[in-house]
Amino acid sequence: MAVLVGKKAPAFSASAVIKGGEIVEGFSIEQYLGKKYVLFFFYPADFTFVCPTELLAFQERLGEFNEKNVAVVACSVDSKFSHWKWLQTELKDGGIKGVKYPIVSDLSKTISENYDVLAGDYDYSENGEVTFNGTPMAYRGLFLIDKKGIVRHQTVNDMPLGRSVAETLRMVDALQFFEENGEVCPADWHKGDKAMKETQKSVADYLSKK
């Protein structure tokens, strides 16, 4: 599994469904460069069980991400038409109607490959036949990308394990606090808590005041 932290987020241009029902071509997170942070997350598939709980949870707190100048973007290997249908389906029927942030279609699986979250790989036989080993879907990868397009935080969960939106917001707060104040954030830091300067003395001071 690749570690992308500290590296440029892989670029892409793909179909996406935005605003809960508008299909667009050539969607790219590079449109946010210099303007917004990006929370780019992968999920395995539309019309499944854990996935709608995550997408709806991010939508429920979308206002908080907006206040922090973070664009939320989701992605799976489903087609743009599958995304559109899922977005039109009521919650009681397993849909995610009401989700407004962009959902990218990675039908070719190249975006998942480039972010190294694809749950398997391709194998080529001597006569040129291609087979896929594993599950042709993405793990629950999540990438926090700064305004310069650099990945600053990533997590990758196996498919049965849903993520914490609260923890994601905490990491946004920590990154922005560090950028604004130059102080680093200790274990379990939350916005409003005391931070640290990068010296050995600051560690002792911090621990003595806990």
This prediction has a pTM of 0.92
Given this model, what pLDDT does residue 48 score? 95
| pLDDT tens per residue, range 92-146 | 999 999 999 999 999 999 999 999 999 988 888 778 888 888 899 999 999 999 9
For the ranges 74-83, 96-105, 186-195, the lowest mean pLDDT is seen at: 186-195
Distance of CA 90 to the CA centre of its chain: 24
- Tokens coding 132: 């896929």
Distance CA 138, CA 156 (A): 10
Q: How does DSSP classify residue 150? A: B
Whether residue 203 has pLDDT greater than 80: no
Of the listed 51, 72, 144, 172, which one is catalytic?
51
The answer to whether 109 and 78 have CB atoms below 8 angstroms apart is no
- Identify the band that residue 197 occupies on the pLDDT scale cut at 50, 70 and 90: confident
Whether residue 205 has pLDDT greater than 70: no
Please state the domain extents for the chain: 14-161, 164-210
Length of the chain: 210
- Tokens coding 7: 């590296």
Measured CA distances, 33 to 28, 58, 198, 199 (Å): 10, 21, 29, 32
Mean local confidence (pLDDT), 150-170: 97
Whether residue 150 has pLDDT greater than 70: yes
Domain 14-161, CATH class in plain words = alpha beta
Angle between helix 50-60 and 165-181 (nearest 10): 40
Residue type for position 103: I
- To the query of whether residue 51 is one of the catalytic residues in this protein, the response is yes
For the ranges 10-14, 17-21, 78-82, 131-135, the lowest mean pLDDT is seen at: 131-135
Given this model, what pLDDT does residue 201 score? 56
The pairing of strands 130-138 and 103-105 is: unpaired
By percentage, how much of the chain surpasses pLDDT 70?
Answer: 94
